[in-house]
Structure 1
Amino acid sequence: MQDINALIEQGQAWLPWVMEKSVGLVVGIVIFFIGKFIAHKIAHWCEQRMLKANVDKAVAGFSSSILYALIFAAVTLMALGQIGVQTTSFIAILGAAGLAVGLALQGSLSNFASGVLIILLRPFRAGDFVDAGGQMGTVDRIELFHTYLKTPDNRVIIMPNSTIMDGSIVNFSREATRRLDLVIGISYDSDIRQARNLIQGILDADERVLKDPATVIWVSELADSSVNFSVRAWVASGDYWALRSDLLEKIKYCFDENGVGIPFPQMDVHLSKQD
Protein backbone atom coordinates (compact mmCIF):
# COMPACT_ATOMS: atom_id res chain seq x y z
CA MET A 1 0.00 0.00 0.00
CA GLN A 2 2.84 2.32 0.84
CA ASP A 3 4.41 1.57 -2.57
CA ILE A 4 1.18 2.52 -4.34
CA ASN A 5 0.94 5.75 -2.39
CA ALA A 6 4.56 6.53 -3.24
CA LEU A 7 3.92 5.98 -6.94
CA ILE A 8 0.84 8.22 -6.79
CA GLU A 9 2.78 10.97 -5.06
CA GLN A 10 5.62 10.64 -7.56
CA GLY A 11 3.12 10.77 -10.45
CA GLN A 12 1.52 13.87 -8.98
CA ALA A 13 4.95 15.47 -8.71
CA TRP A 14 5.74 14.67 -12.37
CA LEU A 15 2.29 15.63 -13.67
CA PRO A 16 2.91 19.40 -14.01
CA TRP A 17 6.17 18.73 -15.87
CA VAL A 18 4.50 16.23 -18.21
CA MET A 19 1.63 18.62 -18.85
CA GLU A 20 4.02 21.48 -19.54
CA LYS A 21 6.10 19.40 -21.97
CA SER A 22 3.00 18.03 -23.69
CA VAL A 23 1.58 21.49 -24.20
CA GLY A 24 4.96 22.69 -25.48
CA LEU A 25 5.18 19.74 -27.86
CA VAL A 26 1.68 20.38 -29.24
CA VAL A 27 2.36 24.11 -29.61
CA GLY A 28 5.70 23.38 -31.30
CA ILE A 29 4.07 21.04 -33.81
CA VAL A 30 1.34 23.60 -34.53
CA ILE A 31 3.96 26.34 -35.01
CA PHE A 32 5.94 24.11 -37.36
CA PHE A 33 3.08 23.21 -39.69
CA ILE A 34 1.42 26.63 -39.63
CA GLY A 35 4.79 28.31 -40.13
CA LYS A 36 5.57 26.01 -43.05
CA PHE A 37 2.23 26.89 -44.64
CA ILE A 38 2.81 30.63 -44.10
CA ALA A 39 6.35 30.38 -45.51
CA HIS A 40 4.99 28.78 -48.67
CA LYS A 41 2.32 31.45 -49.03
CA ILE A 42 4.76 34.34 -48.44
CA ALA A 43 7.27 32.93 -50.94
CA HIS A 44 4.52 32.45 -53.52
CA TRP A 45 3.15 35.96 -52.92
CA CYS A 46 6.61 37.53 -53.29
CA GLU A 47 7.19 35.60 -56.52
CA GLN A 48 3.90 36.83 -57.95
CA ARG A 49 4.67 40.43 -56.94
CA MET A 50 8.07 40.25 -58.64
CA LEU A 51 6.52 38.83 -61.79
CA LYS A 52 3.98 41.68 -61.84
CA ALA A 53 6.90 44.09 -61.49
CA ASN A 54 8.39 42.57 -64.69
CA VAL A 55 11.18 40.79 -62.83
CA ASP A 56 12.53 37.86 -64.85
CA LYS A 57 10.69 34.64 -64.04
CA ALA A 58 13.93 32.77 -63.34
CA VAL A 59 15.08 35.42 -60.84
CA ALA A 60 11.66 35.50 -59.17
CA GLY A 61 11.61 31.72 -58.75
CA PHE A 62 15.15 31.61 -57.37
CA SER A 63 14.49 34.47 -54.93
CA SER A 64 11.26 32.89 -53.69
CA SER A 65 13.10 29.60 -53.09
CA ILE A 66 15.70 31.35 -50.95
CA LEU A 67 13.01 33.26 -49.04
CA TYR A 68 11.10 30.04 -48.34
CA ALA A 69 14.26 28.32 -47.07
CA LEU A 70 15.06 31.20 -44.68
CA ILE A 71 11.53 31.43 -43.27
CA PHE A 72 11.32 27.65 -42.91
CA ALA A 73 14.62 27.60 -40.98
CA ALA A 74 13.35 30.34 -38.64
CA VAL A 75 10.06 28.50 -38.09
CA THR A 76 11.91 25.28 -37.30
CA LEU A 77 14.02 27.05 -34.66
CA MET A 78 10.88 28.61 -33.14
CA ALA A 79 9.19 25.22 -32.95
CA LEU A 80 12.24 23.61 -31.33
CA GLY A 81 12.45 26.45 -28.82
CA GLN A 82 8.79 25.98 -27.93
CA ILE A 83 9.35 22.27 -27.34
CA GLY A 84 12.18 23.08 -24.94
CA VAL A 85 15.28 22.60 -27.03
CA GLN A 86 17.97 25.17 -26.23
CA THR A 87 18.27 26.80 -29.63
CA THR A 88 21.57 28.55 -28.80
CA SER A 89 23.40 25.32 -28.18
CA PHE A 90 21.35 23.68 -30.92
CA ILE A 91 22.57 26.24 -33.46
CA ALA A 92 26.18 25.55 -32.42
CA ILE A 93 25.64 21.81 -32.77
CA LEU A 94 23.82 22.39 -36.05
CA GLY A 95 26.75 24.41 -37.33
CA ALA A 96 29.21 21.63 -36.53
CA ALA A 97 26.88 19.05 -38.04
CA GLY A 98 26.33 21.31 -41.04
CA LEU A 99 30.05 21.27 -41.75
CA ALA A 100 30.08 17.49 -41.78
CA VAL A 101 26.92 17.32 -43.85
CA GLY A 102 28.33 19.94 -46.22
CA LEU A 103 31.37 17.79 -46.88
CA ALA A 104 29.10 14.84 -47.58
CA LEU A 105 26.79 16.90 -49.80
CA GLN A 106 29.34 18.69 -51.93
CA GLY A 107 27.21 18.05 -55.02
CA SER A 108 24.19 19.84 -53.55
CA LEU A 109 26.32 22.77 -52.41
CA SER A 110 27.83 22.93 -55.88
CA ASN A 111 24.31 23.04 -57.33
CA PHE A 112 23.42 25.91 -54.99
CA ALA A 113 26.56 27.86 -55.85
CA SER A 114 25.93 27.26 -59.55
CA GLY A 115 22.36 28.52 -59.13
CA VAL A 116 23.70 31.75 -57.61
CA LEU A 117 26.13 32.12 -60.53
CA ILE A 118 23.32 31.59 -63.04
CA ILE A 119 21.32 34.38 -61.41
CA LEU A 120 24.32 36.74 -61.24
CA LEU A 121 25.85 36.05 -64.66
CA ARG A 122 22.50 35.62 -66.44
CA PRO A 123 23.61 33.29 -69.29
CA PHE A 124 19.90 32.80 -69.97
CA ARG A 125 16.50 34.00 -68.81
CA ALA A 126 13.11 32.37 -68.38
CA GLY A 127 11.65 31.79 -71.82
CA ASP A 128 15.01 31.39 -73.59
CA PHE A 129 15.57 28.29 -75.71
CA VAL A 130 18.94 26.83 -74.72
CA ASP A 131 21.21 23.86 -75.21
CA ALA A 132 22.81 23.23 -71.82
CA GLY A 133 24.19 20.14 -70.15
CA GLY A 134 23.40 18.04 -73.21
CA GLN A 135 19.70 18.95 -73.13
CA MET A 136 17.68 21.37 -75.24
CA GLY A 137 14.56 23.18 -74.08
CA THR A 138 12.94 26.42 -72.98
CA VAL A 139 13.96 27.69 -69.54
CA ASP A 140 10.94 27.60 -67.24
CA ARG A 141 12.38 28.45 -63.81
CA ILE A 142 15.58 28.36 -61.76
CA GLU A 143 15.48 27.06 -58.19
CA LEU A 144 18.08 26.56 -55.45
CA PHE A 145 19.49 23.32 -56.81
CA HIS A 146 17.83 22.70 -60.17
CA THR A 147 16.80 24.43 -63.38
CA TYR A 148 13.59 23.38 -65.15
CA LEU A 149 13.51 23.13 -68.95
CA LYS A 150 10.49 22.43 -71.16
CA THR A 151 11.11 20.59 -74.41
CA PRO A 152 9.17 21.28 -77.62
CA ASP A 153 7.18 18.06 -77.05
CA ASN A 154 6.16 19.36 -73.57
CA ARG A 155 8.48 17.23 -71.45
CA VAL A 156 9.96 18.78 -68.30
CA ILE A 157 13.70 18.30 -67.76
CA ILE A 158 14.97 18.95 -64.22
CA MET A 159 18.71 19.61 -64.47
CA PRO A 160 21.22 20.13 -61.62
CA ASN A 161 22.58 23.66 -61.76
CA SER A 162 26.18 22.43 -61.56
CA THR A 163 25.67 20.32 -64.70
CA ILE A 164 24.63 23.44 -66.59
CA MET A 165 27.50 25.62 -65.38
CA ASP A 166 30.16 22.94 -65.87
CA GLY A 167 29.51 22.71 -69.63
CA SER A 168 28.98 25.01 -72.56
CA ILE A 169 25.65 26.85 -72.86
CA VAL A 170 24.15 27.68 -76.25
CA ASN A 171 21.42 30.33 -75.99
CA PHE A 172 19.35 30.39 -79.17
CA SER A 173 17.15 33.25 -77.94
CA ARG A 174 19.69 35.79 -76.73
CA GLU A 175 19.99 37.58 -80.08
CA ALA A 176 17.01 38.95 -81.97
CA THR A 177 18.11 37.41 -85.29
CA ARG A 178 19.67 34.12 -86.42
CA ARG A 179 21.36 32.99 -89.59
CA LEU A 180 19.60 30.15 -91.40
CA ASP A 181 22.01 27.80 -93.18
CA LEU A 182 20.75 25.34 -95.79
CA VAL A 183 22.54 22.93 -98.12
CA ILE A 184 20.59 22.20 -101.31
CA GLY A 185 21.82 19.60 -103.78
CA ILE A 186 20.88 19.40 -107.48
CA SER A 187 21.77 16.81 -110.11
CA TYR A 188 24.76 17.35 -112.40
CA ASP A 189 22.58 17.61 -115.49
CA SER A 190 20.46 20.45 -113.99
CA ASP A 191 21.05 24.12 -114.80
CA ILE A 192 23.00 25.78 -111.98
CA ARG A 193 21.87 29.31 -112.91
CA GLN A 194 18.23 28.26 -113.03
CA ALA A 195 18.44 26.54 -109.64
CA ARG A 196 20.12 29.58 -108.09
CA ASN A 197 17.43 31.92 -109.47
CA LEU A 198 14.64 29.67 -108.22
CA ILE A 199 16.09 29.57 -104.70
CA GLN A 200 16.61 33.35 -104.72
CA GLY A 201 13.02 33.91 -105.85
CA ILE A 202 11.66 31.79 -103.01
CA LEU A 203 13.74 33.71 -100.44
CA ASP A 204 12.73 37.10 -101.87
CA ALA A 205 9.03 36.18 -101.79
CA ASP A 206 9.02 35.24 -98.09
CA GLU A 207 8.57 38.28 -95.82
CA ARG A 208 10.17 36.47 -92.88
CA VAL A 209 13.56 36.54 -94.62
CA LEU A 210 15.35 39.73 -93.59
CA LYS A 211 16.66 42.02 -96.32
CA ASP A 212 19.62 43.15 -94.22
CA PRO A 213 21.96 41.29 -94.08
CA ALA A 214 21.29 40.14 -97.62
CA THR A 215 20.89 36.46 -98.46
CA VAL A 216 23.86 34.65 -99.96
CA ILE A 217 23.71 31.66 -102.34
CA TRP A 218 26.78 29.97 -103.78
CA VAL A 219 28.01 26.59 -105.06
CA SER A 220 29.83 25.10 -102.11
CA GLU A 221 30.72 21.62 -103.33
CA LEU A 222 30.85 19.35 -106.35
CA ALA A 223 29.88 16.26 -104.38
CA ASP A 224 29.79 12.60 -105.43
CA SER A 225 26.15 12.68 -106.50
CA SER A 226 25.15 16.34 -106.59
CA VAL A 227 26.13 19.95 -107.01
CA ASN A 228 25.57 21.50 -103.59
CA PHE A 229 24.39 25.05 -102.96
CA SER A 230 24.96 26.73 -99.59
CA VAL A 231 22.19 29.15 -98.68
CA ARG A 232 22.51 31.73 -95.89
CA ALA A 233 19.57 33.89 -94.89
CA TRP A 234 18.92 35.98 -91.77
CA VAL A 235 15.64 35.62 -89.89
CA ALA A 236 14.06 36.62 -86.59
CA SER A 237 14.92 34.08 -83.89
CA GLY A 238 11.27 33.24 -83.32
CA ASP A 239 10.73 32.40 -87.02
CA TYR A 240 13.77 30.15 -87.41
CA TRP A 241 12.31 26.64 -87.28
CA ALA A 242 9.04 27.40 -89.07
CA LEU A 243 10.83 29.24 -91.88
CA ARG A 244 13.43 26.50 -92.28
CA SER A 245 10.75 23.87 -92.77
CA ASP A 246 8.75 26.07 -95.17
CA LEU A 247 11.78 26.91 -97.33
CA LEU A 248 12.77 23.26 -97.74
CA GLU A 249 9.22 22.36 -98.75
CA LYS A 250 8.91 25.27 -101.21
CA ILE A 251 12.28 24.53 -102.80
CA LYS A 252 11.30 20.88 -103.35
CA TYR A 253 7.99 21.81 -105.00
CA CYS A 254 9.61 24.55 -107.10
CA PHE A 255 12.38 22.26 -108.33
CA ASP A 256 9.85 19.58 -109.28
CA GLU A 257 7.74 22.07 -111.25
CA ASN A 258 10.76 23.42 -113.16
CA GLY A 259 12.55 20.15 -113.88
CA VAL A 260 15.48 20.66 -111.51
CA GLY A 261 16.52 17.27 -110.20
CA ILE A 262 17.45 16.49 -106.61
CA PRO A 263 19.48 13.29 -106.97
CA PHE A 264 19.65 10.23 -104.78
CA PRO A 265 23.11 9.15 -103.61
CA GLN A 266 24.60 7.06 -106.37
CA MET A 267 27.80 5.30 -107.34
CA ASP A 268 29.17 4.33 -110.75
CA VAL A 269 30.55 0.76 -110.88
CA HIS A 270 32.79 -0.24 -113.85
CA LEU A 271 33.23 -3.95 -114.64
CA SER A 272 36.05 -5.30 -116.73
CA LYS A 273 36.20 -8.79 -118.23
CA GLN A 274 39.46 -10.66 -118.41
CA ASP A 275 40.27 -14.03 -120.01
Structure 2
Amino acid sequence: MDWINRIVEVGMTLALAVITLIVGLAVIKIIVNLLTKQVTKSKLDESLKPFIMSVISVGLKLILAISVVGILGIPTASFVAILGSFGLALGLAFQGSLANLAGGVLLLTMRPFKVGDYIEGAGYSGTVKAIQILYTELVTPDNKMIYVPNGNLSNSGIVNYSVHENRRVDLVFGVGYEVDNQHVLQTLQEIVLKHPKVLLDPEPFIRMSGHGDSAVEYTVRVWSKAEDYWDVHFDIMETVKTTFDDENISIPYPQMDIHTLEN
Protein backbone atom coordinates (compact mmCIF):
# COMPACT_ATOMS: atom_id res chain seq x y z
CA MET A 1 0.00 0.00 0.00
CA ASP A 2 3.01 2.26 0.39
CA TRP A 3 3.29 2.68 -3.35
CA ILE A 4 -0.38 3.75 -3.52
CA ASN A 5 0.22 6.36 -0.84
CA ARG A 6 3.31 7.47 -2.71
CA ILE A 7 1.36 7.85 -5.96
CA VAL A 8 -1.36 9.81 -4.16
CA GLU A 9 1.26 12.03 -2.52
CA VAL A 10 3.04 12.67 -5.84
CA GLY A 11 -0.32 13.31 -7.55
CA MET A 12 -1.33 15.83 -4.90
CA THR A 13 2.05 17.54 -5.20
CA LEU A 14 1.75 17.77 -8.97
CA ALA A 15 -1.83 19.01 -8.68
CA LEU A 16 -0.75 21.66 -6.18
CA ALA A 17 2.11 22.72 -8.46
CA VAL A 18 -0.22 22.94 -11.48
CA ILE A 19 -2.83 24.89 -9.50
CA THR A 20 -0.10 27.22 -8.18
CA LEU A 21 1.16 27.76 -11.71
CA ILE A 22 -2.28 28.49 -13.15
CA VAL A 23 -3.36 30.73 -10.27
CA GLY A 24 0.05 32.41 -10.23
CA LEU A 25 -0.09 33.27 -13.92
CA ALA A 26 -3.61 34.65 -13.46
CA VAL A 27 -2.50 36.75 -10.48
CA ILE A 28 0.57 37.99 -12.37
CA LYS A 29 -1.68 39.02 -15.25
CA ILE A 30 -3.94 40.97 -12.89
CA ILE A 31 -0.95 42.61 -11.16
CA VAL A 32 0.66 43.57 -14.47
CA ASN A 33 -2.63 45.05 -15.74
CA LEU A 34 -3.09 47.08 -12.55
CA LEU A 35 0.51 48.28 -12.59
CA THR A 36 0.23 49.12 -16.29
CA LYS A 37 -2.72 51.41 -15.56
CA GLN A 38 -0.84 53.09 -12.72
CA VAL A 39 2.36 53.47 -14.75
CA THR A 40 0.39 54.84 -17.70
CA LYS A 41 -1.12 57.52 -15.47
CA SER A 42 2.22 58.35 -13.85
CA LYS A 43 4.59 61.10 -14.92
CA LEU A 44 7.35 58.68 -15.87
CA ASP A 45 9.02 59.18 -19.21
CA GLU A 46 7.08 57.41 -21.97
CA SER A 47 10.27 55.62 -23.00
CA LEU A 48 10.57 53.92 -19.60
CA LYS A 49 6.99 52.69 -19.17
CA PRO A 50 7.00 49.64 -21.52
CA PHE A 51 10.51 48.70 -20.41
CA ILE A 52 9.56 48.77 -16.71
CA MET A 53 6.44 46.67 -17.32
CA SER A 54 8.43 44.10 -19.30
CA VAL A 55 10.99 43.76 -16.48
CA ILE A 56 8.24 43.41 -13.82
CA SER A 57 6.42 40.75 -15.84
CA VAL A 58 9.58 38.69 -16.38
CA GLY A 59 10.58 39.05 -12.71
CA LEU A 60 7.20 37.90 -11.38
CA LYS A 61 7.16 34.90 -13.70
CA LEU A 62 10.66 33.92 -12.59
CA ILE A 63 9.58 34.06 -8.92
CA LEU A 64 6.55 31.92 -9.77
CA ALA A 65 8.75 29.35 -11.52
CA ILE A 66 11.00 29.09 -8.44
CA SER A 67 7.93 28.67 -6.20
CA VAL A 68 6.53 25.87 -8.38
CA VAL A 69 9.90 24.12 -8.37
CA GLY A 70 9.95 24.35 -4.55
CA ILE A 71 6.50 22.75 -4.34
CA LEU A 72 7.69 19.86 -6.50
CA GLY A 73 10.37 19.16 -3.90
CA ILE A 74 13.34 20.19 -5.97
CA PRO A 75 15.91 22.06 -3.81
CA THR A 76 15.71 25.72 -4.70
CA ALA A 77 19.48 26.16 -4.42
CA SER A 78 20.06 23.37 -6.90
CA PHE A 79 17.42 24.80 -9.21
CA VAL A 80 19.04 28.22 -9.07
CA ALA A 81 22.42 26.65 -9.87
CA ILE A 82 20.90 24.74 -12.79
CA LEU A 83 19.12 27.90 -13.89
CA GLY A 84 22.41 29.78 -13.75
CA SER A 85 24.18 27.17 -15.85
CA PHE A 86 21.30 27.13 -18.28
CA GLY A 87 21.37 30.92 -18.38
CA LEU A 88 25.10 30.88 -19.18
CA ALA A 89 24.62 28.39 -22.01
CA LEU A 90 21.61 30.33 -23.26
CA GLY A 91 23.58 33.56 -23.06
CA LEU A 92 26.34 32.12 -25.24
CA ALA A 93 23.75 30.88 -27.72
CA PHE A 94 21.90 34.20 -27.82
CA GLN A 95 24.67 36.74 -27.62
CA GLY A 96 22.79 38.99 -30.03
CA SER A 97 19.75 39.10 -27.75
CA LEU A 98 21.94 39.98 -24.78
CA ALA A 99 23.52 42.75 -26.84
CA ASN A 100 20.01 44.02 -27.60
CA LEU A 101 19.16 43.89 -23.89
CA ALA A 102 22.29 45.85 -23.00
CA GLY A 103 21.51 48.25 -25.83
CA GLY A 104 18.00 48.80 -24.43
CA VAL A 105 19.40 49.60 -20.99
CA LEU A 106 21.94 51.97 -22.57
CA LEU A 107 19.26 53.76 -24.62
CA LEU A 108 17.06 54.24 -21.56
CA THR A 109 20.03 55.43 -19.49
CA MET A 110 21.57 57.84 -22.00
CA ARG A 111 18.18 58.79 -23.48
CA PRO A 112 19.26 59.98 -26.94
CA PHE A 113 15.56 59.92 -27.84
CA LYS A 114 12.15 59.37 -26.26
CA VAL A 115 8.75 58.11 -27.34
CA GLY A 116 7.27 60.48 -29.93
CA ASP A 117 10.63 61.64 -31.35
CA TYR A 118 11.38 61.27 -35.05
CA ILE A 119 14.79 59.63 -35.37
CA GLU A 120 17.14 58.07 -37.89
CA GLY A 121 19.49 55.28 -36.93
CA ALA A 122 20.76 51.80 -37.90
CA GLY A 123 19.58 52.46 -41.46
CA TYR A 124 15.97 53.20 -40.48
CA SER A 125 13.92 56.30 -39.71
CA GLY A 126 10.55 56.88 -38.10
CA THR A 127 8.67 58.06 -35.03
CA VAL A 128 9.51 56.18 -31.82
CA LYS A 129 6.44 54.32 -30.59
CA ALA A 130 8.02 52.27 -27.79
CA ILE A 131 11.38 51.14 -26.40
CA GLN A 132 11.09 47.46 -25.44
CA ILE A 133 13.67 45.23 -23.75
CA LEU A 134 15.15 43.99 -27.03
CA TYR A 135 13.68 46.19 -29.75
CA THR A 136 12.69 49.78 -30.40
CA GLU A 137 9.46 50.23 -32.35
CA LEU A 138 9.47 52.87 -35.10
CA VAL A 139 6.48 54.02 -37.15
CA THR A 140 7.41 55.29 -40.61
CA PRO A 141 5.64 58.25 -42.27
CA ASP A 142 3.73 55.78 -44.48
CA ASN A 143 2.53 53.92 -41.32
CA LYS A 144 4.86 50.91 -41.41
CA MET A 145 6.05 49.40 -38.14
CA ILE A 146 9.81 48.74 -37.88
CA TYR A 147 11.34 46.73 -35.03
CA VAL A 148 14.96 47.84 -34.72
CA PRO A 149 17.27 45.74 -32.46
CA ASN A 150 18.47 47.89 -29.59
CA GLY A 151 22.02 46.58 -29.99
CA ASN A 152 22.23 47.89 -33.55
CA LEU A 153 20.57 51.16 -32.62
CA SER A 154 22.82 51.86 -29.61
CA ASN A 155 25.98 51.10 -31.63
CA SER A 156 25.13 53.33 -34.58
CA GLY A 157 24.84 57.07 -35.06
CA ILE A 158 21.40 58.37 -34.12
CA VAL A 159 19.90 61.50 -35.66
CA ASN A 160 17.10 62.96 -33.54
CA TYR A 161 15.04 65.45 -35.51
CA SER A 162 12.78 66.31 -32.57
CA VAL A 163 15.27 67.60 -30.00
CA HIS A 164 15.27 71.22 -31.14
CA GLU A 165 12.22 73.34 -31.80
CA ASN A 166 13.53 74.83 -35.06
CA ARG A 167 15.16 73.32 -38.17
CA ARG A 168 17.02 74.86 -41.08
CA VAL A 169 15.81 74.24 -44.62
CA ASP A 170 18.69 74.17 -47.15
CA LEU A 171 17.90 74.57 -50.85
CA VAL A 172 20.07 75.10 -53.95
CA PHE A 173 18.77 76.50 -57.24
CA GLY A 174 20.51 76.65 -60.61
CA VAL A 175 20.04 79.71 -62.83
CA GLY A 176 21.32 80.51 -66.32
CA TYR A 177 24.55 82.50 -66.62
CA GLU A 178 22.82 85.21 -68.66
CA VAL A 179 20.40 86.17 -65.83
CA ASP A 180 21.17 89.27 -63.74
CA ASN A 181 22.51 88.34 -60.31
CA GLN A 182 20.61 91.04 -58.38
CA HIS A 183 17.36 90.05 -60.05
CA VAL A 184 17.75 86.47 -58.88
CA LEU A 185 18.67 87.46 -55.32
CA GLN A 186 15.76 89.88 -55.06
CA THR A 187 13.29 87.31 -56.42
CA LEU A 188 14.43 84.62 -54.02
CA GLN A 189 14.27 87.04 -51.10
CA GLU A 190 10.70 88.03 -51.94
CA ILE A 191 9.66 84.38 -52.14
CA VAL A 192 11.22 83.56 -48.78
CA LEU A 193 9.88 86.59 -46.91
CA LYS A 194 6.33 86.01 -48.15
CA HIS A 195 6.13 82.49 -46.76
CA PRO A 196 4.20 82.58 -43.45
CA LYS A 197 6.10 79.68 -41.88
CA VAL A 198 9.61 80.99 -42.54
CA LEU A 199 11.20 82.42 -39.39
CA LEU A 200 12.89 85.81 -39.64
CA ASP A 201 15.19 85.09 -36.70
CA PRO A 202 17.71 83.70 -37.55
CA GLU A 203 17.72 85.78 -40.70
CA PRO A 204 17.29 83.92 -44.02
CA PHE A 205 20.50 83.37 -45.99
CA ILE A 206 20.42 83.85 -49.78
CA ARG A 207 23.71 84.02 -51.72
CA MET A 208 25.34 82.91 -54.94
CA SER A 209 27.23 79.79 -53.94
CA GLY A 210 28.79 78.26 -57.03
CA HIS A 211 29.59 78.36 -60.74
CA GLY A 212 28.37 75.05 -62.12
CA ASP A 213 29.00 73.53 -65.53
CA SER A 214 25.56 74.58 -66.78
CA ALA A 215 24.24 77.07 -64.22
CA VAL A 216 25.01 79.58 -61.51
CA GLU A 217 24.06 78.07 -58.15
CA TYR A 218 22.20 79.99 -55.44
CA THR A 219 21.92 78.67 -51.89
CA VAL A 220 18.84 79.46 -49.81
CA ARG A 221 18.88 78.68 -46.08
CA VAL A 222 15.83 79.49 -43.99
CA TRP A 223 14.63 78.45 -40.54
CA SER A 224 11.23 77.07 -39.61
CA LYS A 225 9.51 75.19 -36.83
CA ALA A 226 10.48 71.51 -36.89
CA GLU A 227 6.92 70.47 -37.66
CA ASP A 228 6.80 72.93 -40.62
CA TYR A 229 10.04 71.74 -42.24
CA TRP A 230 8.57 69.85 -45.18
CA ASP A 231 5.84 72.42 -45.80
CA VAL A 232 8.46 75.14 -46.15
CA HIS A 233 10.74 72.91 -48.25
CA PHE A 234 8.12 71.94 -50.83
CA ASP A 235 6.35 75.32 -50.87
CA ILE A 236 9.55 77.20 -51.69
CA MET A 237 10.54 74.64 -54.33
CA GLU A 238 7.19 75.04 -56.09
CA THR A 239 7.04 78.83 -55.71
CA VAL A 240 10.56 79.30 -57.08
CA LYS A 241 9.72 77.37 -60.25
CA THR A 242 6.49 79.35 -60.83
CA THR A 243 8.07 82.73 -60.03
CA PHE A 244 11.19 82.08 -62.12
CA ASP A 245 8.94 81.32 -65.10
CA ASP A 246 7.00 84.56 -64.53
CA GLU A 247 10.22 86.59 -64.17
CA ASN A 248 11.88 84.95 -67.21
CA ILE A 249 14.66 83.56 -65.02
CA SER A 250 15.91 80.50 -66.82
CA ILE A 251 16.60 77.19 -65.11
CA PRO A 252 18.97 75.55 -67.61
CA TYR A 253 19.24 71.90 -68.49
CA PRO A 254 22.63 70.23 -68.02
CA GLN A 255 24.62 70.84 -71.18
CA MET A 256 28.12 70.51 -72.60
CA ASP A 257 29.78 72.69 -75.22
CA ILE A 258 32.03 70.79 -77.65
CA HIS A 259 34.55 72.74 -79.74
CA THR A 260 36.15 71.12 -82.77
CA LEU A 261 39.30 72.18 -84.54
CA GLU A 262 39.05 72.51 -88.30
CA ASN A 263 41.98 71.36 -90.40
- The within-5 A match list for 1:18-167 is 18-167=7-156
- Partners of 1:83 and 1:33 lie apart in 2 by 15
**Residue identity in the other structure for 1:36:** L
> Following the alignment from structure 1 to structure 2, what is the Cα–Cα distance between the partners of residues 107 and 151?
25
**Within 1, Cα distance between the matches of 2:222 and 2:27?**
54
Distance 1:165 1:235 in 2: 29
Q: Secondary structure at the match of 1:185?
A: strand
Specify the code of the residue in structure 1 equivalent to 2:142: D
Aligned to 1:5: none
Between the aligned partners of 2:258 and 2:30, the Cα distance in structure 1 is 75
Structure 2 CA distance for aligned equivalents of residues 46 and 241 of structure 1: 40
Quick one: structure 1 residues 239 and 23, their matched pair in 2 at CA, closer, same or farther if it must change by over 3 Å? farther
Q: Cα offset for 1:24?
A: 3.0
Check whether the contact 1:44–1:64 (CA below 8 A) recurs between aligned residues.
Answer: no
C-alpha contact 1:185 1:262 (8 A) present in aligned 2: yes
**Pair 1:190-2:202 in alignment:** no
Of stretches 154-163 and 88-97 in structure 1, the one that deviates more from structure 2 is 88-97
- In structure 1, which of residues 222, 233, 251 is the aligned counterpart of residue 211 of structure 2? 222
Measured after TM superposition, the shift of residue 19 of structure 1 is 2.9
- What TM-score does the superposition give when structure 2 sets the normalisation length? 0.92
Structure 2 gaps, min length 5: none
1:31-87 deviation line (CA, Å, top 9, x unaligned): 334433443443344344333223222111111111111011112222223333332
Deviations 1:5-47 (A, max 9, x none): xxxxxxx432333233333334433433443344344334434
Alignment CA distance shift 1:173-1:79 (3 Å): same
Helix, strand or coil at the partner of 2:47 = helix
1:184–1:81: structure 2 CA closer, same or farther, 3 Å change rule? same
Kindly tell me the number of residue pairs found equivalent between the two proteins. 263
Report the TM-score when normalising by structure 1.
0.88
One-letter amino acid matched to 1:73: L
Code of the residue aligned with 1:265 in structure 2: it is P
CA RMSD, Structure 1 to Structure 2 (Å): 1.9
AA aligned to 2:64 is V
Structure 1 position 175 matched with structure 2 position 164 = yes
Where does the alignment leave 5 or more consecutive residues of structure 1 unmatched? 1-11
Where does residue 14 of structure 1 map in the other structure?
Answer: 3
1:211 aligned to 184, 196, 200, which one? Answer: 200
Alignment correspondent of 2:237: 248
> Which is greater in Rg?
1
Change (3 A) 1:201 1:34: farther
- % identity of equivalent residues: 35
- Indicate if the aligned counterparts of 1:47 and 1:63 stay in contact, CA closer than 8 A: no
Q: Distance in 1 between matches of 2:126 and 2:58?
A: 27
The 3 A distance-change label for structure 1 pair 254 and 39 is: farther
Separation in structure 1 between the aligned mates of residue 134 and residue 14 of structure 2, nearest angstrom: 33
After TM superposition, give the deviation of residue 113 of structure 1 in Å. 1.4
- How far has the Cα of 1:153 moved from its partner? 1.3
